[in-house]
Amino acid sequence: MEWCAAHATAMHAEVIAVFSIDLPVYAASGFGYLPIPEPTEPDHDNLRDVMQREWCAPLSKASIPFRAVVLDGSPAFAELLLGSTSHQLSLHLNRPLVIVP
C-alpha cells in the first residue's frame, strides 16, 4: 500500500484493495472431514474494516481514493488450473495491475 500511496497520484489512480477468501469445502479433523462454514456478511464487514483502517492507512494518509473489497472465492480465474495468482491476473485483467512482492 505504501507503493500505491507513493505512485497513485501521479497516475491519477484509484486503488482497489481486494482480499479474496478461498476456503476449502472440507477440513480434516480428529473426527474425519468436516464442512467449513462460509464466511458471513459480518465476517466480511469486520475484514473490510481492518483493511480500511490498518492495511490501507498509507492511502488514507496520502488522500488517495481507494476501495476495500472482500470477495469469496479464488482471487484468480476458475478456468485456469496452473500458475500463481499474480501470473494469472497479469495475463487476464483488462486494467493495469501492480504486483508488489
Condensed to tens digits (0 to 9), the pLDDT of residues 2-33 reads: 999 999 989 888 998 988 877 666 666 677 77
Q: Across the chain, how many H-helices and E-strands are there?
A: 4, 4
- What sections of the chain are H helices per DSSP? 2-11, 41-50, 57-61, 85-92
| Residues in Cβ contact with 77 at an 8 Å cutoff, skipping those fewer than 6 apart | 88, 92
Q: Which residue has the cell 488514507?
A: 60
Q: Which residues pair with 78 in a beta bridge?
A: none
Q: 77 or 48, which is more confident? A: 48
**Beta strand 32-35 with 26-29: parallel, antiparallel or unpaired?**
antiparallel
> What pLDDT score does 34 carry?
67
pLDDT tens sequence across 28-60: 667 777 666 777 788 889 999 999 999 999 999
pLDDT of 78 over the 90 cut? no
